Amino acid sequence: MKDGKPSGKICPREFFRVSDQVRYLEPFQLRLLEEAFDAWRDAAKRSDSVLGRTRIWTVFQLLRHTGARLGEILSLDDTRCFDPSGPVLLLGRDERKRRVPLSAEVFETVSAILEGPLAARLRGTFLHIDPGYFRRTCYARGKECSLSKDQVGPNALRNTRAVEMLRNGVPITVVRDVLGQSSLDLTAGFQQFSEGDVQSIVNAAHRSMRKQTSARNSFVGHVTDIREDPIMAEVSMSTRTGLELSAVITSDSLHNLDLRKDSPLIATVKAPLVNVLRVDDPPAGSARNRLRATILRVTGSPVLTEVVGRLEDGTEVCALISGQSAKELDLKTGDRVEFWFKALSVVLNTIRT
């Protein structure tokens, strides 16, 4: 929103829906639960009650801010669970070890408790509490907020953290790694889009890419193969929809871009470097990239004509050809054509994440 008007930008995290099978808390519900836990902890009077409630509260904070499993938090040695170099919680064992970043505020709060006099006699085992008692405490705090048991248990807290990260733009693969899940299939249920959502997101991404370059044709994908000699290199790539493209660049450019197999990249081709041929009987040629498409529109003048077509995967391709060539080809909306461009015409750009 800008100056009271829609910005026109589509942000996927703003409107994806969560599977009905996933139990989680919306932000206002999470805030109520946090406030209930804070009030419960602060209401303790006796020293043993203060210690017990603070231990429960600390476990709740780590679950809420990491998305970890309850068993993972309860088994932590609180003298060795934080990375000495920064606010990072170390979870998992052996090959399943992972580092989960914490906000500076949460890290400082939990560290102050663990290093304070309250936890002195329990260092190393401060988080080792009874899981059943923790669950019952969650249920009791949830009841105070009119939340059901399946909304406030450890699994719901884990799901809530996952949804929270996705809505804040964290890539789904990073969410998977933070949660310690073995497969994207397990994470995908948190983030679902309708068919219309998918089309809007992809189209918005294409428009965004075009604003960043003067090239009308942009293709996002990964490197599939590289062939190099002392002077030049041929880079083969596959787009997200399986389209195969080739580019020829200098060896110096290859190394400057630090391209290797599976590197993400964007290939761009300026419209004047793209040829258009009818599919009836296309002549032989040296162009490595040949894309079959359906013409969407033909806009021309006696000198130049713009031809825009749509590939089978929905990608739009644009060519600028002479007005005379367009007249000879007699191009019309709906005609089947091939867009040709040489590998030397392709410009590669790396994607920085």
CATH topology of domain 271-342: OB fold (Dihydrolipoamide Acetyltransferase, E2P) (2.40.50)
3-state secondary structure at position 212: coil
pLDDT at 46: 94
Q: How confident is the model at residue 189 (pLDDT cuts 50, 70, 90)?
A: low
Which residue(s) pair with 226 in the sheet? 235
Q: Pick the residue with more confidence: 342 or 13?
A: 342
pLDDT at 10: 41
Residues of the chain with CATH 1.10.443.10: 17-188
Instruction: State the pairing for strand pair 264-269/347-350.
Output: antiparallel
- pLDDT tens for 284-294 read 667 889 999 99
Q: Lowest mean pLDDT: which of 177-186, 238-247, 286-295?
A: 177-186
Joined tokens for residue 293: 């498409």
* Across 270-276, average pLDDT: 93
pLDDT at 283 over 60: yes
- pLDDT tens for 310-340 read 998 778 899 999 989 888 889 999 999 999 9
CB proximity list for 241: less than 8 A, separation 6 or greater: 313, 314, 315
Dihedral sign (CA 338, 343, 347, 353): positive
CB proximity list for 277: less than 8 A, separation 6 or greater: 283, 329, 337, 338, 340
Joined tokens for residue 181: 């899940």
* Across 100-119, average pLDDT: 92
pLDDT at 186: 52
CATH topology of domain 17-188: hpI Integrase; Chain A (1.10.443)
pLDDT at 33 over 90: yes
pLDDT at 138 over 90: yes
Residues of the chain with CATH 2.40.50.100: 201-266, 271-342
Q: How confident is the model at residue 281 (pLDDT cuts 50, 70, 90)?
A: low
Side chain identity at 260, as an amino acid letter?
Answer: R
Region for 305 from its dihedrals, namely left if φ exceeds 0, alpha if ψ lies in -120 to 50, beta otherwise:
beta
pLDDT at 20 over 60: yes
Q: Pick the residue with more confidence: 69 or 353?
A: 69
pLDDT at 200 over 70: no
pLDDT at 246 over 60: yes
Side chain identity at 191, as an amino acid letter?
Answer: Q
Q: Pick the residue with more confidence: 242 or 195?
A: 242
Architecture of domain 201-266: Beta Barrel (2.40)
pLDDT at 56 over 60: yes
Which residue(s) pair with 294 in the sheet? 310, 336
pLDDT at 234 over 60: yes
Joined tokens for residue 130: 């009874």
Q: How confident is the model at residue 182 (pLDDT cuts 50, 70, 90)?
A: low
pLDDT at 164 over 80: yes
Q: Pick the residue with more confidence: 347 or 202?
A: 347
Buried b (16+ CB within 10 A) or exposed e, 56-65: bbbbbbbbbb
pLDDT at 275 over 70: yes
pLDDT at 282: 62
Q: How confident is the model at residue 298 (pLDDT cuts 50, 70, 90)?
A: very high
Joined tokens for residue 120: 């002195």
pLDDT at 199 over 60: no
pLDDT at 8 over 80: no
pLDDT over 70, % of the chain: 82
